Chains A and B, each alone.
Chain A
Amino acid sequence: MITLTHYLVLSALVFALGVYAVLTRRNGVAILMGIELMLNAANINLVAFNKYTAPGAMQGQIFALVVITLAACEAAVGLALMLAVYRSVETIDVDEINLMKW
Protein backbone atom coordinates (compact mmCIF):
# COMPACT_ATOMS: atom_id res chain seq x y z
CA MET A 1 0.00 0.00 0.00
CA ILE A 2 2.73 2.44 0.88
CA THR A 3 5.20 2.32 -1.97
CA LEU A 4 8.51 3.97 -2.58
CA THR A 5 6.81 6.86 -4.37
CA HIS A 6 4.98 7.94 -1.21
CA TYR A 7 8.25 8.36 0.66
CA LEU A 8 9.90 10.16 -2.23
CA VAL A 9 7.06 12.65 -2.62
CA LEU A 10 7.05 13.31 1.14
CA SER A 11 10.77 13.93 1.17
CA ALA A 12 10.43 16.23 -1.85
CA LEU A 13 7.90 18.31 0.07
CA VAL A 14 10.12 18.50 3.16
CA PHE A 15 13.05 19.46 0.94
CA ALA A 16 10.96 22.24 -0.61
CA LEU A 17 10.13 23.52 2.89
CA GLY A 18 13.84 23.62 3.68
CA VAL A 19 14.58 25.53 0.46
CA TYR A 20 11.85 28.04 1.31
CA ALA A 21 13.38 28.59 4.73
CA VAL A 22 16.86 29.16 3.32
CA LEU A 23 15.61 31.60 0.68
CA THR A 24 13.27 33.75 2.73
CA ARG A 25 14.43 33.95 6.33
CA ARG A 26 16.58 36.72 7.71
CA ASN A 27 17.67 35.09 10.91
CA GLY A 28 20.89 33.10 10.48
CA VAL A 29 19.77 30.35 12.84
CA ALA A 30 16.52 29.94 10.89
CA ILE A 31 18.54 29.39 7.73
CA LEU A 32 20.48 26.65 9.51
CA MET A 33 17.18 25.07 10.54
CA GLY A 34 16.15 25.00 6.90
CA ILE A 35 19.40 23.25 6.05
CA GLU A 36 18.64 20.62 8.69
CA LEU A 37 15.23 20.02 7.11
CA MET A 38 16.87 19.48 3.72
CA LEU A 39 19.35 16.99 5.16
CA ASN A 40 16.54 15.07 6.83
CA ALA A 41 14.64 14.88 3.53
CA ALA A 42 17.73 13.45 1.83
CA ASN A 43 18.07 10.88 4.62
CA ILE A 44 14.48 9.73 4.19
CA ASN A 45 15.23 9.18 0.52
CA LEU A 46 18.34 7.13 1.28
CA VAL A 47 16.66 4.83 3.77
CA ALA A 48 13.56 4.41 1.58
CA PHE A 49 15.68 3.41 -1.38
CA ASN A 50 17.52 0.96 0.83
CA LYS A 51 14.36 -0.84 1.79
CA TYR A 52 12.57 -0.83 -1.54
CA THR A 53 15.23 -1.25 -4.20
CA ALA A 54 18.29 -2.75 -2.52
CA PRO A 55 17.23 -4.67 0.57
CA GLY A 56 20.16 -7.06 0.71
CA ALA A 57 22.89 -4.48 1.15
CA MET A 58 22.90 -1.95 3.91
CA GLN A 59 24.41 0.92 2.00
CA GLY A 60 21.42 3.23 2.36
CA GLN A 61 21.39 3.06 6.12
CA ILE A 62 25.16 3.41 6.35
CA PHE A 63 25.00 6.46 4.15
CA ALA A 64 22.13 7.88 6.23
CA LEU A 65 24.18 7.43 9.43
CA VAL A 66 27.12 9.24 7.85
CA VAL A 67 24.85 12.07 6.70
CA ILE A 68 23.41 12.43 10.22
CA THR A 69 26.93 12.67 11.63
CA LEU A 70 28.02 15.24 9.07
CA ALA A 71 24.85 17.26 9.65
CA ALA A 72 25.69 17.40 13.34
CA CYS A 73 29.22 18.61 12.53
CA GLU A 74 27.92 21.24 10.15
CA ALA A 75 25.30 22.46 12.61
CA ALA A 76 27.95 22.78 15.30
CA VAL A 77 30.34 24.77 13.14
CA GLY A 78 27.55 26.90 11.65
CA LEU A 79 26.14 27.81 15.02
CA ALA A 80 29.61 28.57 16.36
CA LEU A 81 30.01 30.96 13.43
CA MET A 82 26.69 32.59 14.32
CA LEU A 83 27.91 33.11 17.88
CA ALA A 84 31.17 34.63 16.67
CA VAL A 85 29.34 36.96 14.27
CA TYR A 86 26.96 38.04 17.02
CA ARG A 87 29.90 38.91 19.20
CA SER A 88 31.35 41.30 16.68
CA VAL A 89 28.37 42.94 14.98
CA GLU A 90 25.68 42.44 17.66
CA THR A 91 23.14 41.03 15.22
CA ILE A 92 22.43 37.77 13.41
CA ASP A 93 20.21 39.32 10.79
CA VAL A 94 21.93 38.15 7.62
CA ASP A 95 20.81 41.20 5.68
CA GLU A 96 22.92 43.38 7.95
CA ILE A 97 26.08 41.30 7.93
CA ASN A 98 27.42 42.93 4.80
CA LEU A 99 30.80 44.30 5.86
CA MET A 100 32.54 42.51 3.02
CA LYS A 101 30.38 43.84 0.22
CA TRP A 102 31.99 46.42 -1.95
Chain B
Amino acid sequence: MIGEAIAFYLLAAAMLGFGVVVVTSPNIVHSAVALVPVFLGVTGLYILLNAEFVAGIQVLIYAGAITVLILFVIMLTVGGTGLRIPERNEQGPIGFAVAAALAAMLAIGVTHTAWGRGGGALPAYTPGAIGQSFLGPNLLVFEGTSVVLLVSLIGAIIIARKEE
Protein backbone atom coordinates (compact mmCIF):
# COMPACT_ATOMS: atom_id res chain seq x y z
CA MET B 1 0.00 0.00 0.00
CA ILE B 2 2.57 2.51 1.03
CA GLY B 3 4.95 1.23 -1.62
CA GLU B 4 2.26 1.84 -4.20
CA ALA B 5 1.77 5.38 -2.86
CA ILE B 6 5.49 6.15 -3.02
CA ALA B 7 5.70 4.78 -6.56
CA PHE B 8 2.66 6.77 -7.65
CA TYR B 9 3.94 10.06 -6.28
CA LEU B 10 7.42 9.55 -7.73
CA LEU B 11 5.99 8.74 -11.14
CA ALA B 12 3.57 11.67 -10.96
CA ALA B 13 6.37 14.07 -10.01
CA ALA B 14 8.57 12.80 -12.85
CA MET B 15 5.75 13.03 -15.38
CA LEU B 16 4.72 16.53 -14.40
CA GLY B 17 8.28 17.81 -14.10
CA PHE B 18 9.39 16.54 -17.48
CA GLY B 19 6.01 17.49 -18.93
CA VAL B 20 6.67 21.11 -18.00
CA VAL B 21 10.04 20.82 -19.77
CA VAL B 22 8.29 19.46 -22.86
CA VAL B 23 5.83 22.32 -23.12
CA THR B 24 8.05 25.24 -22.14
CA SER B 25 11.57 24.53 -23.31
CA PRO B 26 12.88 26.95 -25.95
CA ASN B 27 15.05 24.20 -27.42
CA ILE B 28 12.90 21.86 -29.47
CA VAL B 29 15.29 18.92 -29.12
CA HIS B 30 15.18 19.23 -25.33
CA SER B 31 11.38 19.09 -25.55
CA ALA B 32 11.45 15.98 -27.68
CA VAL B 33 13.97 14.19 -25.48
CA ALA B 34 12.01 15.09 -22.34
CA LEU B 35 9.01 13.25 -23.80
CA VAL B 36 10.73 9.92 -23.09
CA PRO B 37 10.58 10.18 -19.26
CA VAL B 38 6.94 11.27 -19.54
CA PHE B 39 6.11 8.16 -21.55
CA LEU B 40 8.09 5.97 -19.17
CA GLY B 41 6.17 7.52 -16.28
CA VAL B 42 2.91 6.62 -17.98
CA THR B 43 4.26 3.09 -18.39
CA GLY B 44 4.90 2.95 -14.65
CA LEU B 45 1.32 4.05 -13.99
CA TYR B 46 0.02 1.29 -16.24
CA ILE B 47 2.03 -1.26 -14.30
CA LEU B 48 0.57 0.08 -11.05
CA LEU B 49 -2.87 -0.37 -12.63
CA ASN B 50 -2.17 -4.05 -13.45
CA ALA B 51 -2.12 -3.41 -17.20
CA GLU B 52 1.21 -4.99 -18.15
CA PHE B 53 0.47 -5.65 -21.79
CA VAL B 54 -0.57 -2.04 -22.35
CA ALA B 55 2.62 -0.95 -20.53
CA GLY B 56 4.79 -3.04 -22.85
CA ILE B 57 3.00 -1.69 -25.92
CA GLN B 58 3.35 1.87 -24.57
CA VAL B 59 7.14 1.58 -24.29
CA LEU B 60 7.44 -0.16 -27.65
CA ILE B 61 5.32 2.33 -29.60
CA TYR B 62 5.53 5.63 -27.76
CA ALA B 63 9.04 5.72 -26.31
CA GLY B 64 10.56 3.57 -29.01
CA ALA B 65 8.86 4.68 -32.21
CA ILE B 66 6.96 7.95 -31.89
CA THR B 67 9.83 9.70 -30.08
CA VAL B 68 12.24 8.52 -32.76
CA LEU B 69 9.84 9.80 -35.44
CA ILE B 70 9.58 13.21 -33.76
CA LEU B 71 13.37 13.46 -33.42
CA PHE B 72 13.83 12.49 -37.06
CA VAL B 73 11.43 15.16 -38.26
CA ILE B 74 13.11 17.77 -36.05
CA MET B 75 16.51 16.89 -37.41
CA LEU B 76 15.33 16.81 -41.01
CA THR B 77 13.54 20.14 -40.89
CA VAL B 78 14.83 22.68 -38.44
CA GLY B 79 17.70 20.95 -36.73
CA GLY B 80 19.77 20.37 -39.78
CA THR B 81 19.97 24.01 -40.69
CA GLY B 82 20.16 25.44 -37.20
CA LEU B 83 17.23 27.72 -37.89
CA ARG B 84 15.95 29.27 -34.70
CA ILE B 85 12.20 29.51 -34.52
CA PRO B 86 10.72 31.53 -31.66
CA GLU B 87 8.98 29.02 -29.50
CA ARG B 88 6.26 31.09 -27.93
CA ASN B 89 3.54 32.94 -29.72
CA GLU B 90 1.60 35.91 -28.43
CA GLN B 91 -1.05 33.84 -26.67
CA GLY B 92 1.19 32.93 -23.73
CA PRO B 93 -0.81 34.30 -20.80
CA ILE B 94 -4.20 33.44 -22.32
CA GLY B 95 -3.04 29.90 -23.02
CA PHE B 96 -1.84 29.50 -19.48
CA ALA B 97 -5.13 30.82 -18.12
CA VAL B 98 -7.17 28.47 -20.30
CA ALA B 99 -5.05 25.45 -19.38
CA ALA B 100 -5.18 26.26 -15.69
CA ALA B 101 -8.95 26.78 -15.81
CA LEU B 102 -9.40 23.48 -17.62
CA ALA B 103 -7.27 21.64 -15.08
CA ALA B 104 -9.15 23.23 -12.21
CA MET B 105 -12.55 22.39 -13.65
CA LEU B 106 -11.58 18.78 -14.32
CA ALA B 107 -9.97 18.32 -10.92
CA ILE B 108 -12.92 19.78 -9.05
CA GLY B 109 -15.30 17.75 -11.18
CA VAL B 110 -13.62 14.42 -10.51
CA THR B 111 -13.09 14.94 -6.80
CA HIS B 112 -16.72 15.76 -6.22
CA THR B 113 -18.12 12.72 -8.02
CA ALA B 114 -18.82 9.48 -6.26
CA TRP B 115 -17.43 6.88 -8.60
CA GLY B 116 -19.07 3.50 -8.28
CA ARG B 117 -16.75 0.75 -7.24
CA GLY B 118 -16.96 -2.23 -9.57
CA GLY B 119 -17.25 -5.58 -7.94
CA GLY B 120 -15.14 -8.65 -8.20
CA ALA B 121 -11.52 -9.52 -7.97
CA LEU B 122 -9.12 -8.42 -10.64
CA PRO B 123 -8.78 -10.99 -13.37
CA ALA B 124 -5.39 -11.72 -14.83
CA TYR B 125 -4.92 -9.34 -17.72
CA THR B 126 -2.71 -11.70 -19.67
CA PRO B 127 -1.88 -11.20 -23.34
CA GLY B 128 -3.89 -14.31 -24.11
CA ALA B 129 -7.01 -12.82 -22.55
CA ILE B 130 -6.53 -9.57 -24.44
CA GLY B 131 -6.09 -11.52 -27.66
CA GLN B 132 -9.28 -13.50 -27.03
CA SER B 133 -11.06 -10.24 -26.37
CA PHE B 134 -9.83 -8.72 -29.62
CA LEU B 135 -10.98 -11.72 -31.61
CA GLY B 136 -14.24 -12.02 -29.72
CA PRO B 137 -16.36 -9.08 -28.59
CA ASN B 138 -14.05 -6.41 -29.98
CA LEU B 139 -13.44 -7.80 -33.42
CA LEU B 140 -14.91 -4.82 -35.26
CA VAL B 141 -12.66 -2.39 -33.42
CA PHE B 142 -9.66 -4.55 -34.28
CA GLU B 143 -10.46 -4.71 -37.97
CA GLY B 144 -11.28 -1.01 -38.12
CA THR B 145 -7.93 -0.15 -36.49
CA SER B 146 -6.15 -2.31 -39.06
CA VAL B 147 -7.79 -0.38 -41.88
CA VAL B 148 -6.86 2.95 -40.28
CA LEU B 149 -3.25 1.78 -39.89
CA LEU B 150 -3.06 0.75 -43.53
CA VAL B 151 -4.54 4.03 -44.74
CA SER B 152 -2.27 6.16 -42.56
CA LEU B 153 0.80 4.14 -43.62
CA ILE B 154 0.08 4.71 -47.30
CA GLY B 155 -0.87 8.33 -46.66
CA ALA B 156 2.26 9.16 -44.71
CA ILE B 157 4.50 7.63 -47.37
CA ILE B 158 2.78 9.54 -50.16
CA ILE B 159 2.73 12.87 -48.32
CA ALA B 160 6.37 12.73 -47.30
CA ARG B 161 7.72 11.54 -50.61
CA LYS B 162 9.98 13.84 -52.55
CA GLU B 163 8.47 15.15 -55.77
CA GLU B 164 10.33 13.52 -58.62
Contact = CB atoms under 8 A, between A and B. Distances in A.
Interface of B: 1-2, 4-5, 8, 12, 15-16, 19-20, 22-23, 28, 31-32, 35, 38-39, 42, 45-46, 48-51, 53-54, 57-58, 61-62, 65-66, 69-70, 72-74, 76-78, 83, 85-89, 91-92, 94-96, 98-100, 102-103, 106-107, 110-111, 115-123, 125, 129-130, 133-134, 138, 141, 145, 148-149, 152-153, 155-157, 159-160, 162
A12 B103 contact: yes
B152 A25 contact: no
Interface residues of A, number: 72
A9 B111 contact: yes
Interface of A: 1-2, 4-10, 12-21, 23-27, 29-30, 32-34, 36-37, 40, 43-44, 47-48, 50-56, 58-59, 61-62, 64-66, 68-77, 79-84, 86-87, 91-93, 95
A48 B110 CA distance: 13
Given A33-B32, A64-B51, A69-B149, A53 B116 contact: yes
Contacts of B102: 12, 15-16, 19
Contacts of B54: 43, 47, 61, 64-65, 68
Contacts of B57: 65, 68
Contacts of B95: 19-20, 23-24
A6 B8 contact: yes
Interface SS of chain B: helix
A65 B130 contact: yes
Contacts of A20: 23, 95-96, 98-99
Contact of A76 (B32, B87, B125, B156): B156
A27 B57 CA distance: 28
13 contacts: A16-B106, A20-B95, A20-B96, A24-B88, A24-B96, A34-B22, A52-B115, A54-B118, A55-B119, A68-B57, A73-B152, A76-B152, A84-B159
